[in-house]
Structure 1
Amino acid sequence: MITHKKLPNGFEYIEVKNGVAEAKIALQGAHLFHYARVGKEPILWLSEVSDFEKGKAIRGGVPICWPWFGFNKDKALPQHGFARISMWEFVCSNELDEKTTVLTFKLTNSEKTLQIWHYKFELELRITISDKLTMELKTTNRDEKEFKITQALHTYFAVSHISDVAILGLDKKPYLNALTYKNEEQEGDITFNEEVDRVYQDVDDEIVLRDKNREIHIKNQGSSSVVVWNPWIEKTKRMSAMQENAYEYMLCIESANAFDDARAIKSQESHSLKAVIC
């Protein structure tokens, strides 16, 4: 079942329910902010004080960072690009069977985007809701000249407690420590006892988020970079739409094309970034 809904302030979203899972996707940003299997705890974390207002990014779920990840050289431009605060078109939905629902959203260039980023483009997001969550973000260059993008499916995962989790699958992978701007190499599994902000490269295998009571598996395609982030105590206090203890119950594992994994797309060609979470 697919239901179009609005909050009292007019904020629009789509609710999906099928035989095995449920989800909620905002039209602003094509932002998936809830996904849970039937009878299970949500896989995605959503801030209890997140903004659901036009022009403000939702804190949690899966923001789409595009066409740049992080800050642009022009600091006046929005962090993580404009896709996550733009209104997307809901193209179609397809209930393949009682356990599988596919939704497609589209964003294209406008006068406003061309003032910020001087290229014509078509961006399509296909979300499949089943016993696993699949997100595929396809960028097509509709301009006459090549452009380069960095991007991320900035996935916030809900965890029982940050002290009880480990991330497997990145041992021996090189990463940029964004807190020190030093290049380092991962040793063993990732655990958390301080702020972590890292961009891993040469990632070519499945990543596992091991929590006290469950494991979440993440497999990416069209990507060799992964961002791991937890803001910890002091940064959480400075951030918008986050309660002071929020860092204890979330972490981000972001399927990305970031830094050395930036992608150049020629005129009329496409690139797809895909993440499968189960």
Structure 2
Amino acid sequence: MTDIEVPQGITLIDTPLAGIKVDTPAATGVIYFNGAHIAAWTPAGQHPVLWLSDAAILEPGKAIRGGIPLLWPWFGAGADGKHAPAHGIARISAWNLLQAKVSPVGTASIILGLDGGAVDAGLAPELPRDYRLELHISMGRTLIVQLVVMAGEDALVFEDGLHSYFAVGDIGKTRIEGLDGAAFSNRLTDSCATQQGDVTFDAETDQIFESQASLRIVDEEWNRTLLIEKVGSVQSVIWNPWIAKAAATADLGDDDWQHFVCAEAVNVREQSIAVAPGGRHLISQTISVL
């Protein structure tokens, strides 16, 4: 997956998957080439910010439960409900390491790339073959994740997103600020409503909010707030499986629902992205511990 040399603070790893480990004065983290998957990020002196399931399937070509999976070029099973694998092909494809640098203060800058021509055409036969994806990662005391989609000679139409799993001390003592007044669709009841106040959790939650706003995950158990700022995203998905769905999901522990919340920057369904031939689209999250 790489022929480049890596600097001090970044180590190439082979197990449980090929990837890189970051260990600098600013942060530690793990990034797998499978799916360009950010599996861990812990700023110096903090609790882990990203959550990864102990039951995650860490095998090439398999989706990884936790961290930051990439959603592209469709969300879920697609708008028609017939697409597989769930959430698209980017998160199960083998990406290449294009750049790895470390700044004097310990911020790791990493670029991973995926060429459409290298992806099994049978996974997404409707796509042209000359697209290119890049994931730009800046991992230090803050985490910046930028997915760049570049069209070739043909236009691209797709859904995209950063499916971030955030670690929390107790989901029952967690709330999300920034969505008051936003319209949302409830994927569990197939209904629409307007958010009143902060988002709190006392049952399974799966909602798509029409909002470009930054979010704050307020975690009373760990006495911290996570700030999630986004660019190129007009929606946020908030998800937690709660008790029954966690127990029924093979790569989740029965009690895992208590310790994470997904806050995803997305563009899905009616907000799908259209990129002209030769054009590009960027979606990003900047994550900070306040």
Calculate the TM-score normalised by the size of structure 1. 0.95
Q: Paired residues, what number?
A: 274
Partner of 1:196: 205
Match of 1:176 in 2: 185
Per the alignment, residue 99 of structure 1 pairs with 106
Match of 2:91 among 79, 84, 90: 84
Distance (whole Å) between structure 1 residues aligned to residue 283 and residue 199 of structure 2: 24
Alignment-derived partner of residue 115 in structure 1:
122
Of residues 228, 236, 260, the one that matches 1:218 is: 228
Where do 5+ consecutive residues of structure 2 fail to align? 1-8
Q: Which moved more, 1:50-59 or 1:224-233?
A: 50-59
Letter in 2 for 1:6: D
Comparing 65-74 and 54-63, the one that deviates more: 65-74
Alignment partner, residue 50 of structure 1 = 56
Which structure 1 residue ranges, 5 or more long, are not aligned?
A: none
Residue 41 of structure 2 corresponds to residue 35 of structure 1: yes
2:192 equivalent to 1:186: no
Instruction: State the AA in 2 paired with 1:2.
Output: I
Runs of 4+ in 1 over 4 A off after TM superposition: none
How far off is 1:173 after superposition?
0.2
State the partner residue of 2:29: 23
Distance in 2 (alpha carbons) for counterparts of 1:163 and 1:74: 32
Alpha-carbon offset, residue 114 of structure 1: 2.9
Residue by residue, what CA displacement relative to the aligned partner does 1:76-134 show, whole Å, maximum 9, x if unpaired?
A: 62110011010000101122323311000001113644333321210000000111000
Q: Which residue of 2 aligns with 1:136?
A: 146
How much is the aligned-residue C-alpha RMSD, in angstroms? 1.3
Does 1:260 pair with 2:270?
yes
Residue 192 of structure 1 aligns with an amino acid whose one-letter code is F
Aligned residue type for 2:278 = Q
Other structure's SS at 1:115 match: helix
Alignment deviations for residues 127-156 of structure 1 (CA, whole Å, 9 cap, x no partner): 0011100000000001x3322111111000
Write out aligned runs for 1:59-78 (5 A).
Answer: 59-72=65-78, 73=80, 75=82, 77-78=84-85
Deviation at 1:183, TM superposition (A): 1.4
Deviations 1:7-39 (A, max 9, x none): 16xx21200122211110001001000000112
Given that residues 126 and 137 in structure 1 are in contact (C-alpha distance below 8 angstroms), is that contact kept between their aligned partners in structure 2? yes
Shift of 1:180: 1.1
Q: What residue number does 2:5 align with?
A: none
Equivalent position to 1:13, from 13, 19, 29: 19
Task: Specify the alignment match of 1:207 in structure 2.
Answer: 215
